[in-house]
Every structure is written in structure tokens, then in C-alpha cells.
Amino acid sequence: MIQIEKVKDYSALSKKAAMFIAAEIVQKKLPVLGLATGSTPIGTYKVLRELYQEGRLDFSSVRSVNLDEYRGLSPEDSHSYRYFMNEELFNHVNIKISNTHVPDGTLKEAKEACESYEELIQSLGGIHLQILGLGHDGHIGFNEPSNHFPAKTHCVKLTEETINANQRFFAKKEDVPTEAYTMGIGTIMHAEKILLLVSGKDKASILQKVLEGPVTPDVPASILQFHPNVILIADEEALSLCKTV
């Protein structure tokens, strides 16, 4: 079931999402957050930083696991998702870096990288709240359109559409990694709660398919219709084509 929270714009989305995450941190003794990268959660992380700086939020008990990482990039690479998380959140709050986890993009053995990350998530007791963005082709994490829903953390070849979308973060297209390690759909679906953040008119068409279309691996995020506790926070532009809102 997907609960829809409609907001006016990206700023309102960021504030609402941050307050939802903050509530989870306050209510859980040892919260495990599944975190996302990309442009959509940047505003949310900014609000979370501000809450910490104002003395209203304590990250000392938080453990985190990130959805994905480019294969072949080191944590020090400015394009890596570990670097992104450090810059956007971790370096600015009192979270223990040893409690933050991102797939290891430097591991050359895909099987080792994926199995060790899956084991890590299980050792933490699973994910309490998973934050997700939505790709233009319906991907969540780096789970691209496919003929099946991948169950566990795996290595994926990125589609041309995703590579093109991520090109804006690199000097040229040839620099964009073509593979990534990502949590599987099954791993994501095992989270207690899921927070899906969607903003902008360019996401309206795919969001309509996620909410109103059939559940199909052609639109990976459509599987969220089957999760018992999904909160969608989306702005007016993103929801502009949805008939049920």
C-alpha cells in the first residue's frame, strides 16, 4: 500500500521528508536507515544537517546502509556515492563513520562484494526506514527495467538512459561507470518502512506508471504497490498525471 503525501514543491518535499526521517531517528533506539543518493534527497539531507546544527536531532545512535555504489570507484573518488554521503550528510552531523555503510566499489569480485553487503544488512537486523528516489525509467537503487525482480544485492550493468542521466555529474559520458553494486528489490522490500521521494514534471509519467500501472519488472518501482508501509512524498508537478490523487 502506498500512502501519498502531496506537497507544493521541492522545498516542501525536502522539509517533510527530513521531519519523517527525524521522527524515525527519535523513536528508534538503534535506527537503521537505508539511504539514497542522486539529486532528489540533497534537499532532505540539508534539512537534516540544519536540525542537527540547531541541536534538535542526534545522529549518534544511527546506523546507515546505502542503496548502491558505482563499481570501480574508490571512496575517495569525488563521483563515488560514499564521497557524496560524506559531503552531503555524514561530515556535518555526529554520526559515527564506522556506523555508515556503502557497498565497496573497489572489490573486483562481484560475488564477494554483494554477499558481504547482504550479510552486513542482516547483521544490523535489517532496515527500519529505506529512502528511495525514482529513476526516469522506474528504477529504484540501480535495479533497472528487466524481466525479473532481483532479490538480493547484485552487480548491474547500467542502461544507456541511466548513464545519460548520470552524465551531468561527470566531465564526459565516457567517465560514467557502466556497472554498479545495488541492493536488490527483495532487500529493499524487506525494509520495515519505505520513503519514496519524487519531484518534478519530468518524473510525472513514470510516477503514474508506478502508482497506477501493473506491477512489472519493466517498471521496477511498481513492486512498491505490494509493500505494506510505503510513504510517497511527491510535489504537485510529479503527481500532475496521476488520476487517483
From the list 240, 242, 231, the residue with the least C-alpha distance to 13 is 231
- The catalytic position among 101, 128, 139, 154 is 139
What residue type is assigned to position 170 of the chain? F
- The catalytic position among 24, 144, 235, 237 is 144
- The verdict on whether 227 is a catalytic residue reads no
- The verdict on whether 77 is a catalytic residue reads no
- The verdict on whether 144 is a catalytic residue reads yes
Query: Residues 230, 2: contact at Cβ < 8 Å?
Result: yes
CA 45 to chain centre: 12
- The catalytic position among 24, 68, 88, 237 is 68
Phi, psi of 192 (to 5 degrees): -60, -45
- The catalytic position among 24, 118, 137, 235 is 137
* Cell of residue 82, nine digits: 560514499
How wide is the angle at C-alpha 42 spanned by C-alphas 140 and 76, nearest 5°?
85
Please give the full DSSP string across 178-190, using - where no structure is assigned: SEEEE--HHHHHT
Query: Residues 128, 62: contact at Cβ < 8 Å?
Result: no
* Cell of residue 5, nine digits: 503525501
Query: Residues 138, 165: contact at Cβ < 8 Å?
Result: no
What is the rounded distance in angstroms from the CA atom of residue 35 to the CA atom of residue 101?
10
Which residues does the annotation mark as catalytic?
68, 137, 139, 144
